[in-house]
Amino acid sequence: MTALPPPAEGCPLPTLMVVPSGVGCATGGYAGDALPAARLLAAASGCLITHPNVINGAALYWSDPRVLYVEGWALGRFAAGHLALRPVRSRRVGLLLDAGIEEELRLRHLQVADGCRATLGLEIGPVLTTDVPLGVGVELGPSGASWGTLARPDALLRAGEQLRDAGATAIAVVARFPEDPHSEALAAYRSGAGVDALAGAEAVISHLLSRHLLLPCAHAPALRPLPLQRGLDPRAAGEELGTTFLPCVLVGLSRAPDLLPLSGAGPAVAAAGPLLHSQQLGAVVAPAGALGGEAVLACVERGVPLIAVDNPCLLQVSAQALALEDAGATVLSAVGYAEAAGLVLALREGIAPAALRRPIEPLDG
C-alpha cells in the first residue's frame, strides 16, 4: 500500500471513539448518553469514527457529517487494517423484522419507518420478516456484564441476504427481546446504577450480520413501552420518549460509510474514490478500564496515541494491567471527555500534550 502523506496543519485528525457495550460505562452505558462527548470529539478532530452504541439514543439522534457510524465488528476490522471506509451521501436502509414480533409492535415499527421517510427524507425499504422467530436470549455474566444468544442465526442471515439482493445497502434489524418490566436489573438500569441488559445480545446480532454481509448494520430491540417511573436517571430517559428504539438506527445507517475489504484488494477498491484507512488515525479514545477490545489494541499496535478516559465501568482492563506503556505505547490520561477533546485538538495542531501539563521537567543533557 502506498504510504499516506502527513496531514497538513489544521486538517482533520481521524479519531476512533470506543465505548464497549453492556459493561455499565458511566458515559455511554445508557441511551446514547455518550453523544455529547462524541459531538465534542468530532468538533475537536474534524473526523470521528465510532459505533452505534455511542450515539444511538432511541428516539433521539444527532446527525453530524463529521461522525462516521460504523458497526462494532466492522470498527475492529477497520482498526486492524482489514477494511477501509468510504463516506456516502445516503443509503437505502432495508428493514429486517423478527417473526417473533407481535402485530401491534410490528405496526409501531412500520409507522416509525414511515415517519422517518416522510419527515427526515430517508430511503427505507424493502421490509422483510424472518421466516421463523429469531429467539433472542439475554443474560448477565458473573462480572455483571450483559451478553446474549440467538436461537436461529440462520434465519437472520437468510433475511439479510434477501434484503441485500433486493437492493438494500444497509440493514436495520428489529428483534423481539424478552422482557421483565419488574426485574431488579431493569430497575437498577433505569435509576442509573445498572447495566444495559440488552446490549450484549444486540452486539451479537449486529456483529453476525455485518460480518456475513459486509454491509452497515445496526439493531433496535422490540419491547413493549415501560410503565411510567419517577426518579428516572436522565441517561436512561431517551428510551422513554417513544414506542420503539428504531429512529436513531435508521438515521445512523442512512449515512453509514461503505465497508471495503483490503485483503486481496484489486482495481475495484483502487477506483472507489477517497477512502479512510486505519493508517490515517491520529488518536483512539476509550474508557481507561476497558482497553482490551480489538479496535483499541489494534490501534495501540500501530502506534496510534491512546487517550484513556476516566469513565468507570465493570471492567478493570487498564493500560497498567496490559503493560501498554512498557511495550512502548503512547497513553494519555484524561479525567473526562472534555479533557480528551483538548488532547485530540492538541494532537491535531501538532502540540505536544506534555507541554500542557505541569510541572515540565528539564531536558537531561
Q: Give the per-residue pLDDT at 212.
A: 97
Can you list the domains of the chain with their CATH numbers? Answer: 15-87+260-356 (3.40.50), 92-255 (3.40.50)
Confidence of residue 1 (pLDDT cuts 50, 70, 90): very low
Q: Give the per-residue pLDDT at 198.
A: 87
Share of the chain above pLDDT 70, in %: 95
Q: What span, in angstroms and rounded, lies between the C-alpha atoms of 339 and 333?
A: 9
Q: Give the per-residue pLDDT at 280.
A: 97
Q: What is the pLDDT of residues 306-350, one digit of tens each?
A: 999 999 999 999 999 999 999 999 999 999 999 999 999 999 999
Residue with the bigger pLDDT between 183 and 134: it is: 134
- This prediction has a pTM of 0.93
Q: What is the pLDDT of residues 75-121, one digit of tens each?
A: 999 999 999 999 999 999 999 999 999 999 999 999 999 999 999 99
How far CA 261 is from CA of 131, 191, 258, 279, in Å, comes to 30, 42, 10, 15
Average pLDDT over residues 280-289: 98
Query: Is the pLDDT at 5 greater than 70, yes or no?
Result: no
Confidence of residue 2 (pLDDT cuts 50, 70, 90): very low
Q: What span, in angstroms and rounded, lies between the C-alpha atoms of 299 and 316?
A: 19
CB of 79 closer than 8 Å to CB of 294: yes
Q: What span, in angstroms and rounded, lies between the C-alpha atoms of 338 and 341?
A: 5
Per-residue cell: 14: 481521524
Average pLDDT over residues 279-283: 97
CB crowding 276-305: b at 16 or more within 10 Å, else e = bbbebbbbbbbbbbbbebebbbbbbeeebb
Average pLDDT over residues 137-157: 91
CA nearest neighbour of 161 among 84, 220, 87, 217: 217
